[in-house]
């Protein structure tokens, strides 16, 4: 018998084993990514508007995807726009319902959606969501015009997207609510090896120069407040930390909106360092590092 025959069979079995292992890992990775983003498959429910009805807008990403959003135009004489990025398991329509209080302050509000969410084309991924945020930022920048500034607000996963956007684009400020330091901080221990996206916000902060407001609910048991404390300690930008009693992970804008508005107004006036605890928030502030 040809001595090479057993060797050929051995190599064939090894090749088949490698292919099976690769398929298993790929399947686990796909499953982990699906569980990470968990986009809602339910029909999109338009919220009940309590004031002005927003404009329905669309953007086109660099890779050619068309994504919808909601936009409230600024009040007369106002030009700033707040770009809103929602979290996992959420929808841009539900987030619009939460944040519609923001437009009562006069600034424009643009609520973004993501690929793979709400029946949108594409599949969610870290690079994809960053590209989506950049597409909405371009629209916000256009709507703000030369006289306006663009702020970004991100809830939970949206805060991670906001940090990535700030590392790539010039913003007037970054506001997060209930955001984690990285995926490993909130993912089950067994899922870590298979999650393909890291969202390492602690590392990204080294590339963020914009002023930061980190908001966290003191009773948030989904993403613990220590995440925002660690982010606050790591940043070299001028930053404020607001830990709010009675708030969980859900974006309760009856409480959040006054905190955001005070901070934006103070940031524009150059007096954010003078803000003190208010609205049930434990408030901390630190100036930018000298190197900035």
Each residue's pLDDT tens digit, 181-222: 987 766 655 555 666 788 899 999 999 999 999 999 999 999
Q: What CATH number is given to the structural domain containing 169? A: 3.40.50.1820
Has residue 140 got a pLDDT over 60? Answer: yes
CA separation for the pair 132, 202 (Å, rounded): 21
Asked if residue 16 is part of any domain, the answer here is: no
Helix (H) or strand (E) holding 82: strand 81-85
Asked if residue 181 is part of any domain, the answer here is: yes
Asked if residue 1 is part of any domain, the answer here is: no
Q: Which pLDDT score is estimated for 281?
A: 76
Could you give the angle at the alpha carbon of 110 between the alpha carbons of 231 and 187, nearest 5°?
35
Asked if residue 90 is part of any domain, the answer here is: yes
The whole domain housing 188 covers 38-286
When pLDDT is cut at 50, 70 and 90, the band that residue 273 belongs to is confident
Each residue's pLDDT tens digit, 30-71: 445 555 687 766 667 888 898 899 999 999 999 999 999 999
**DSSP at 73:** P
Q: Which pLDDT score is estimated for 20?
A: 45
Asked if residue 8 is part of any domain, the answer here is: no
Q: Which pLDDT score is estimated for 12?
A: 59
Using CB atoms within 10 Å of the CB of residue 268, give its burial: 0 to 12 exposed, 13 to 18 middle, 19+ buried.
middle
Each residue's pLDDT tens digit, 221-246: 999 999 999 999 999 999 999 999 98
CA separation for the pair 189, 175 (Å, rounded): 28
Q: Which pLDDT score is estimated for 118?
A: 86
Nearest partner of 118 among 143, 88, 157, judged by Cα: 88
Asked if residue 25 is part of any domain, the answer here is: no
Asked if residue 253 is part of any domain, the answer here is: yes
What are the phi and psi torsion angles at 253 (to 5°)? -80, -10
- Domains held by the chain: number: 1
Q: Which pLDDT score is estimated for 197?
A: 81
Comparison of pLDDT for 272 and 30, the residue scoring more: 272
Which SS3 state, helix, strand or coil, does residue 142 take?
A: helix
Asked if residue 21 is part of any domain, the answer here is: no
Distances (CA, A) of 269 to 193, 259, 265: 46, 15, 6
């Amino acid at each position: 018998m040809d001595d090479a025959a057993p060797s050929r069979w051995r190599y064939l079995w090894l090749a088949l084993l490698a292919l099976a292992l690769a398929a298993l890992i790929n399947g686990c990775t796909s499953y982990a990514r699906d569980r990470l983003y968990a986009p809602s498959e339910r029909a999109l429910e338009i919220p009940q508007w309590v004031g002005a009805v927003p404009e329905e807008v669309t953007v086109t990403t660099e890779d050619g995807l068309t994504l919808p959003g909601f936009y409230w135009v600024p009040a007369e004489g106002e030009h700033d726009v707040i770009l809103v990025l929602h979290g996992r398991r959420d929808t841009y329509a539900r987030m619009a319902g939460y944040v519609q209080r923001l437009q009562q302050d006069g600034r424009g509000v643009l609520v973004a959606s993501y690929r793979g969410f709400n029946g949108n084309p594409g599949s969610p991924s870290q690079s994809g969501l960053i590209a989506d945020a950049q597409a909405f930022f371009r629209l916000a920048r256009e709507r703000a015009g030369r006289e306006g500034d663009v702020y970004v607000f991100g809830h939970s996963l949206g805060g991670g997207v906001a940090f990535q956007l700030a590392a790539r684009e010039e913003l007037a400020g970054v506001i997060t609510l209930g955001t984690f330091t990285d995926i490993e901080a909130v993912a089950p221990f067994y899922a870590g090896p298979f999650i393909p996206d890291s969202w390492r916000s602690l590392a990204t902060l080294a590339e963020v120069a914009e002023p930061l407001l980190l908001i966290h609910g003191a009773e948030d048991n989904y993403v613990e407040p220590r995440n925002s404390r660690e982010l606050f300690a790591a940043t070299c930008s001028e930053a404020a930390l607001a830990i709010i009693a009675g708030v969980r992970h859900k974006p309760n804008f009856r409480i959040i909106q006054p905190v955001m508005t005070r901070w934006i107004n103070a940031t524009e006036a150059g007096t954010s360092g003078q803000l003190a605890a208010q609205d049930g928030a434990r408030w901390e502030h630190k100036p930018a590092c000298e190197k900035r």
